[in-house]
Structure 1
Amino acid sequence: MFPNTVTPRPKRAQAIERLTKEVDSLKKSLKAVLSTTKDSEAESAVEDEEEDDVNEEEDEANADAEGEPDEEEA
């Protein structure tokens, strides 16, 4: 049919199949890691925002205790 076509040898075909499966497995692992990383970043952002809110409230409470006007009142 095609005289220049090389027919795969059995060991070569097995190696190709094994490597294809390994690549597919690595792709799945990478997707799992990326989705976990995105979730972690989202959680971290929420935690940072909550921490900023708490710090802001503490700063306002300290300013009130010292008798300084709030930024909103100024």
Structure 2
Amino acid sequence: MSGRWLKRALGAARNRDRSTLNDRGLLPEHEIVGVLRDAAATHENAVGTEPETERHRAVADLINAIIAGGNSVRRL
């Protein structure tokens, strides 16, 4: 389940407005990456039922993929 959800979410993110918080001057890149890392860690450490923790892991995977790929964080 989480693999399909992650692919759909990444596809949807690619089709959105490409301007970022950094592009708009709202936050510097290091702050954005820090917020994303904190969010990923929160989801990685979440507790709950197996379906809930699976969803949290999928969200953490998505956030980590955004950080790794620079999607909405930095332009290459």
Q: TM-score, normalised by structure 1?
A: 0.31
Flag the structure with more relative contact order, 1 or 2, with Cα contacts below 8 A and sequence separation at least 6.
2
Q: TM-score, normalised by structure 2?
A: 0.30
Identify the structure with the greater helix proportion: 1
